[in-house]
Amino acid sequence: MDQLQKKLLNEQSELVVRGMSLVNVVKTTNQVLNENRTEMYKIPQDRKALEEVLFLFNNGNPDDRRNLVSDDYRKASIHLSVRNTHFTKYRDLINLVESEKNQIFKPLAELYPKMDIRVTGPVVMEVHQELYVTESLYRSLFITLAVISVILLFLFGSIREGFLVALIPNLFPITIIFGLMGILGFPLDTFTLVVVPVVIGIAVDDTIHFLTHYKLELQKYGNVKEALKHTLNEIGQSVIFTSLILSSGLFFMTWASSIPISRFGMLAGIAILAAMIADLLLLPVLCQLLNVRFESSSEKSRRAKTINLGKKEINFE
């Protein structure tokens, strides 16, 4: 226990602040029994001296003693006080403790096969909870994208219009916030990952609003450029105003004292602005480049025949 405690305090001093166990009590008691000499702050190597120290410890406060060791000395614990830091550093520390305790206690494990050493505590539970939530959010992200893709496919009736044109602008803000998180060094945790489904919901709503109106304008004018022009004039202001209002409200969260909430507000605000840019700039460009008309295969073939006949008539004349 002393070896593990020293190793963590020396090598992880930027994270581990203090260690408390039966080791500290034995060393302190031994020092007191030897005129408080500094060099006596150690575990007695003489068995009788150690028994005397443990006897005094047993006669102390039983509640304090049970926090470090059980009454029959079959269970003992090391309490580590750590600084408040990122989730990833806690995870690395837990992995290090697991590795070190297996290596240090290996000789004892061979003598006592039933010996069980576990890394536990509030921080460990928090890390496991964070990992579970993060994995769940990853799964929900992919499920959300799959469901939205299917809905857009059925809504617009074409893989090109429903999947490529409608989904790409919704992936743009997600790419922006993930890239920004990497540049700023923000960890992927519960608060930062929650931004993704929130932004997808808002971005898809604006995308469907745009494409639905564009489809109506296309039926009215029959020309892609004219339909895009009237669509932007009609819904551009509403998309801009709603995006600015939502992002402004989220940006106020950046002044929160809680770092996760502050990061959530900043990332969500930037993502909503990125979604606005994608719907007003990227989406019209895709519609024009891919000549999106929301036509069925029969309508496309009929239009192609009409164009060919028109060309033949011109050549004939």
Residue 159: is its pLDDT beyond 70? no
Any idea what DSSP says for residue 16?
E
CA-CA distance, 138 to 97, in Å (whole number)? 27
| Torsional class of 112: left (φ above 0), alpha (ψ -120 to 50), beta (otherwise) | beta
Residue 122 inside a domain? The answer is no
Residue 205: pLDDT over 60: yes
Q: Is residue 260 part of a domain?
A: yes
Range with the poorest average pLDDT among 29-33, 111-115, 159-163, 282-286: 159-163
Segments forming the whole domain that contains residue 234: 139-312
CATH number for 200: 1.20.1640.10
For 6-10, 68-72, 264-268, 312-316, which range has the lowest pLDDT when averaged over its residues?
Answer: 312-316
In a domain, 32, yes or no: no
Helix ranges (H only) for 112-223 are 122-156, 159, 166-184, 190-221
What is the pLDDT, as a whole number, of residue 248? 92
Q: Give tens-digit pLDDT for 64-94.
A: 778 888 888 888 898 888 888 777 788 888 8
Ramachandran quadrant class, 51 (left: phi over 0; alpha: psi -120 to 50; beta: rest): alpha
Residues 195, 177: contact at Cβ < 8 Å? yes
Residue 85 lies in a domain: no
pLDDT (average), residues 288-302: 64
> Which residue in 166, 205, 177, 204 sits closest to 270, CA to CA?
177
- The closest alpha carbon to 130, from 193, 80, 83, 177, belongs to 193
Q: Is residue 302 part of a domain?
A: yes
φ, ψ for residue 113 (rounded to 5)? -60, -30
Tally of CB atoms within 10 A around 276: 23
**pLDDT tens readout for residues 212-238:** 888 888 888 888 888 889 889 888 888
Tally the domains of the chain.
1
Q: What's the predicted TM-score (pTM) here?
A: 0.60
**What integer pLDDT is reported at residue 162 of this predicted model?**
64
